[in-house]
Structure 1
Amino acid sequence: MKAVIFDLDDTLFDHTTSATKALHSWVPALGGTSSDELVAQWFVIEQHCFDRWLNGDTTHQGQRRERLRSFLPLIGHVVPDGDAELDDIYTDFLGHYRAHWVAFPDAQPALEVARSNGWRIGVLTNGSTAQQNAKLTEIGLAALVDVVCTSEILGVSKPDPQAYLRTCEALGADPAETLMIGDNYDLDVAAARKAGLTAHHLDRAAGVTLLDLLRRRS
């Protein structure tokens, strides 16, 4: 192996915990009552709206507004008519979200092991360029990453084979010399293997860690 590509959200960066904590502080600030069920509904809405952006059905800001139009009625909050008001509300959520950004404990050690192996390190994420780079900087991992490829930069998103191939090209490594690691089996493993990479599934629920997968690199 000459390079390793990591997914970001829920692989290196603990998006689920960060968003959950944000919701538990943000919803009461809007006059609602936070609950585990409400958080679960947020993530369903998030996935639906985010996929619409990836599919080209809306803009990145548009999918944020769509989230609020679906979510605010669940907490008894009036949905504003204007986009500017929706944007202000979402900006408030982002403040709560950013306040809780955190890396997984094994993220930095894993990147350091990859670096000690002499591998080039990439991040491939379907998220927005500005926010994903901000996450890496905020959680202290940016200096350990050589290349960050986002769907915005590449013009394609996972599971399109070009997303993996163009990231390998940016790293200066052939797909056969590159390992992909991520938490989403379909996007980070099956599709990466189809593109010619070696890929391992980060199943944290089963107790798997990034360091486990780096040891199983072939």
Structure 2
Amino acid sequence: MSFTVALIGADGAGKTSIGHRLESGYHRPVRYMYMGVNAGAGTHMLPTTRALRSLKRLRGQAEYHGPPPEMAAPAAVRAPRRPPLRRVLAAARAAARTTNLLAEEWYRQGVAALHRRRGRIVVFDRHFLADYHAHDMTAGRGQPWGRRLHGAVLRRLYPRPDLVLFLDASPQVLLARKGEGDLQSLARRRSDYLATAAEWPRFRRIDADGSIEDVFSAVCRELDTLTGEVA
């Protein structure tokens, strides 16, 4: 008996804490996996992703530790065309980034499938579909081709978890816990997560304003329900 569960929600909702508690304290075998965009938090990672992360550090580039940053809308006025060589190099870099991102996502999905074959419940901390839904998956025609391709693959081909649990903490609670962002951006991010509900075969909202013990108990009840259904 095995299935996949994704814990989604904003930073501060308790995803990582709940995921590790499930791995150590649930009454069935559980394997925790990070399925977000922060390479530094990855439990599994391709060598190419590690190399790119090291290259960024050498260049002094900061790593982004949350969901994909909000992208500005395409400019109404077309920017001046770059010289041909610069256009070719930019296209090559974009192709390499998109290829590595897709490879990383499918690699982690393969690792999850391996754990499932061994009878484990796989708990995802974040999920690529949730993190990219408001970005690449709903990117319009004016967005770069790499984002549109990535979004199309996620939307049409990438496997969905059997259960998605949205740990829903209010913007006020998130701001008090993490001290990051503002109430407006946190409310917008909450709306983004709720907008993904139709993407999943089974979506449940968990009130995450309370204590970690209360949230853990609510999550365990959802897993118990699904365990009984797939037994």
The structure whose Rg is larger is 2
Q: What TM-score do you get using the length of structure 2 for normalisation? A: 0.34
Structure (1/2) with the larger helix percentage: 1
